[in-house]
């Protein structure tokens, strides 16, 4: 009888695990769709890479803005939903900015045959990823009672690095021959709004995933008690 109950419990948890990771799989699919759409922005290979970087930057910015706004709400009202939204935004932003940074490194290597150079724009842009990774590490390993508050404060401070990275990317774009093409073709296009919509949907899916995890953790705690 005990073995039957344990086997049923494991089967139930396996089903919950699939539902719990379904949002992550959908989010990854949306990111892939966004990358494909962005890469078809122009016929020239270098232009396609540029549009890909810009679209990924916009999508990552949606996540970081969500994290910043939700962190402000959590500091003001201490609502669990705000903390979940902040985590969702940070996860999306870190994922996309990490892909963007890796893509920039490969592009830089293909152009100059070196993996890294202490260029001002590249350095400032690289600061975004470790800052928000430290936010995720803090939320993952800090005391449950203090983690959300400390994470919210760090999320607000981390957002201050984004203007520096943004102006660094703009400064880099003005040095290239693609700057006029970018300004003319990318201003408020349908592609940009589609990327924003996809990023917002992915953030919502990650939010639902976080809420589901917390609800299941509470149920498990009640069962174990």
From the CA atom positions of the chain, what is the Rg in Å?
20
pTM given for the model:
0.79
> Is residue 106 a contact partner of residue 69, using CB atoms and an 8 Å limit?
no
Cβ within 8 Å of residue 22, ≥6 positions away: none
Both structure tokens of 86: 């902040």
What residues does each domain of the chain span? 2-224
The answer to whether 135 touches 154, Cβ cutoff 8 Å, is yes
Which residues, 6 or more positions from 126, have their beta carbon under 8 angstroms from its beta carbon? 101
Q: What is the pLDDT along the chain (225 residues), one digit of tens a residue?
A: 434 433 443 444 444 444 545 666 677 667 666 666 656 655 566 666 777 777 788 888 899 999 999 999 999 999 999 999 999 999 999 888 888 888 778 877 777 787 776 666 566 667 788 999 999 999 988 887 888 999 999 999 999 878 776 665 555 555 554 444 444 444 445 677 888 888 999 999 899 989 988 998 888 888 887
Question: SS in 3 state form for 152-186?
Answer: HHHHHHHCCHHHHHHHHHHHHHHCCCCHHHHHHHH
């Amino acid at each position: 009888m005990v073995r039957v109950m344990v086997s049923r419990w494991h089967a139930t948890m396996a089903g919950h695990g699939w539902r719990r990771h379904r949002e992550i799989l959908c989010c990854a699919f949306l990111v892939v769709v966004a990358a494909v759409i962005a890469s078809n922005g122009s016929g020239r290979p270098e232009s396609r890479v540029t549009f890909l970087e810009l679209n990924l930057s916009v999508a990552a910015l949606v996540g970081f803005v969500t994290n910043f706004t939700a962190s402000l709400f959590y500091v003001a009202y201490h609502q669990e939903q705000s903390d979940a939204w902040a985590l969702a935004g940070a996860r999306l932003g870190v994922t996309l900015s990490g892909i963007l940074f890796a893509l920039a490194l490969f592009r830089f290597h293909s152009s100059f045959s070196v993996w890294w150079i202490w260029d001002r724009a590249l350095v400032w842009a690289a600061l975004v990823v470790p800052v928000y990774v430290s936010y995720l590490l803090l939320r993952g390993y800090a005391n449950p009672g203090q983690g959300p508050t400390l994470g919210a404060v760090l999320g607000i401070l981390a957002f201050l690095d984004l203007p520096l990275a943004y102006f660094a990317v703009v400064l880099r774009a003005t040095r290239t021959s693609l700057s006029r093409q970018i300004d003319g073709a990318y201003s408020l296009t349908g592609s940009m709004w589609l990327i924003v919509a996809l990023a917002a949907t992915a953030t919502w899916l990650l939010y639902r995933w976080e809420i589901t995890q917390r609800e299941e953790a509470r149920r498990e705690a009640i069962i174990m008690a």
